[in-house]
Amino acid sequence: MQKETEIKLRVSRETLAALREHPLLKKRNKSGWERRELMNQYFDTHERDLAQAKVALRLRKDGEEVIQTLKTRGQSIAGLSVRNEYDWNLPKAKLDLKKLDGECWPEELAELDKKTLKPIFTTDFVRERAEIAWGRGKTKVVIEAALDLGHVVAGKQKEEICELELELREGEPAALLELAAELAEKLALMPCDISKAERGYRLYDAHSYSLSLPAPQITAETPLDEAFAELSWHLLGSSQRLAEQYRFNGHWRLLQDWVENLAEMRALISSLGQAAPRQSTHDLRIALDALLEDWRPLVQAGLEDEDVRKAAPEQFLEELEDPRWGLFSLTTSRWLLARTWAADRNTRGNRQGAAQLSSWLPRLLGEEATSLQLQRYQQQPEDLAEQLPRIERIQVWLHHARNVLEIPEMDRLYGELNKLAQLANESITDEVLEARKQQAIAVYQNRAWKMLLRL
């Protein structure tokens, strides 16, 4: 068994060609590019038991070699994945079911009849591979760079494979993100938290690709720093999966959710006060503001205009063909991995970062609720939009951590605040102004809101 730590980056054919000649890779390339044709057959049961257990089983033909590989459930954070991999060299291209036993075989599949495994889809591609190595401080880094071009085929369905795969051979995982971010400064590299196997399953069954990631485990005892890290990784990873799926099928709701993820990330960052000094978050806030400035108005316009919704997928492809999205994703991953927000803060900031949510969060929500001054917007609803950042700071914590508050009716309050935020985003009409007044009253009279005002 070996651990596989890698990052996959979706690219265009033009970018794939540019990567071969990229100065950074040429300088660190210790082996030259080696070209191989890889033929891969994936197996599962008719009910897709392996996929449900997060297991991938394949036979790979690499020249004269036949390799049986089992990849088990791993951890994937915003495109950087770590999972266990078991490889067996076989004399012929036929599954050896006897190998699928012992520690490699997941316990939840113990009762599975392995004879029911059958071919499901193929991923055949040409791989150009090179060993990229350099000194990073006092340590050596070795990364296998692979340029893959080919197709996933499931029955009559077909999707192109065109990606850069970086796999860590020696060194720290941060080196993968560092190299990827440097390459992404001028090239459009889209972190793609979907394996070739997942693409095959998605073609085999369009509903098999799960957008949802496991919810962060936030409790009352969780320190603020840990809660922020968990939520930020979750939002970044979710935004990458939404971008990938919207690119794939163009469903309007996915674009809405993508923008909401970015808005939540922006609100989360701005809620931390001295636990995240402004200089430490400056570049990230600027990048998020630029994305939201371009995409939030479009999503708002698309709520009422079908032509906007129809044109959006093509506009989103243009976004992905620009380096901006990939560079944002990779630099944010590096920022989170290095915990940059905590690097240069003062003693008070350190205390806040170490505080348990049960003590920090009520104070934040109480201060934000008091400063919102909802009574004012019952008389001046036309000015409600100016309070959107404050509303969103409350929303993001109620969305992901309201379980830590011992306050009744929090679920209802979260729903009422969502309605208020939506109205604040809408263009002003007499009907909207009246709706804002009534919704401000609904929030103000909510039992949980009254309790927040007293915190």
* Same domain, residue pair 27 and 131: yes
Q: Is the pLDDT of residue 45 over 60?
A: yes
> What is the pLDDT averaged over residues 20-29?
95
In-domain check, residue 122: yes
Of the three residues 285, 316, 347, the one that is the final residue of a domain is: 347
Predicted local distance difference test score (pLDDT) of residue 337: 92
Residue of higher predicted confidence among 81 and 308:
308
Predicted local distance difference test score (pLDDT) of residue 205: 85
pLDDT, tens digit, 9 for 90 and up, residues 305-322: 999 999 999 999 999 999
Domain count for the chain, please give it.
Answer: 3
Predicted local distance difference test score (pLDDT) of residue 38: 95
What span, in angstroms and rounded, lies between the C-alpha atoms of 345 and 360? 17
* Same domain, residue pair 165 and 269: no
In-domain check, residue 217: no
* Same domain, residue pair 234 and 197: no
Predicted local distance difference test score (pLDDT) of residue 78: 53
Of the three residues 204, 235, 263, the one that is the final residue of a domain is: 204
CB 186 within 8 A of CB 21: no
Domain residues for 422? 356-453
* Same domain, residue pair 195 and 330: no
Residue whose structure tokens are 């636990």: 275
Residues of the chain above pLDDT 90, percent: 83
Distances (CA, A) of 201 to 46, 79, 92, 156: 12, 18, 25, 13
Residues of the chain above pLDDT 70, percent: 97
Global confidence as pTM? 0.91
* Same domain, residue pair 91 and 186: yes
* Same domain, residue pair 269 and 370: no
Residue of higher predicted confidence among 431 and 78:
431
In-domain check, residue 338: yes
In-domain check, residue 213: no
* Same domain, residue pair 24 and 67: yes
* Same domain, residue pair 190 and 228: no
The encoded tokens of residue 322 equal: 């620009």
CB 404 within 8 A of CB 361: yes
CB 331 within 8 A of CB 283: yes
In-domain check, residue 312: yes
pLDDT, tens digit, 9 for 90 and up, residues 232-268: 999 999 999 999 999 999 999 999 999 999 999 999 9
Q: Is the pLDDT of residue 171 over 60?
A: yes
In-domain check, residue 108: yes
Q: Is the pLDDT of residue 345 over 80?
A: yes
* Same domain, residue pair 20 and 60: yes
* Same domain, residue pair 198 and 293: no
What span, in angstroms and rounded, lies between the C-alpha atoms of 268 and 254? 21
Q: Is the pLDDT of residue 73 over 70?
A: no
Q: What CATH number is given to the structural domain containing 106? A: 2.40.320.10
* Same domain, residue pair 341 and 372: no
Phi-psi region of 29 (alpha: psi -120 to 50; beta: other; left: phi over 0): beta
In-domain check, residue 211: no
* Same domain, residue pair 199 and 247: no
SS (H, E, C) the chain: CEEEEEEEEECCHHHHHHHHCCHHHHHHECCCCEEEEEEEEEEECCCCHHHHCCCEEEEEEECCEEEEEEECCCEEECCEEEEEEEEEEECCCCCCHHHCCHHHCCHHHCCCCHHHCEEEEEEEEEEEEEEEEEEECCEEEEEEEEEEEEEEEECCEEEEEEEEEEEEEECCHHHHHHHHHHHHCCCCCEECCCCHHHHHHHHHCCCCCCCCCCCCCCCCCCEHHHHHHHHHHHHHHHHHHHHHHHHHHCCHHHHHHHHHHHHHHHHHHHCCHHHCCHHHHHHHHHHHHHHHHHHHHHHHHHCCCHHHHHHHHHHHHHHHCCHHHHHHHHHHHHHHHCCHHHCCCCHHHHHHHHCEHHHHHHHHHHHHHHHHCHHHHHHCHHHHHHHHHHHHHHHHHHHHHHHHCCCCCHHHHHHHHHHHHHHHHCCCCHHHHHHHHHHHHHHHCCHHHHHHHCC
The encoded tokens of residue 207 equal: 């509903």
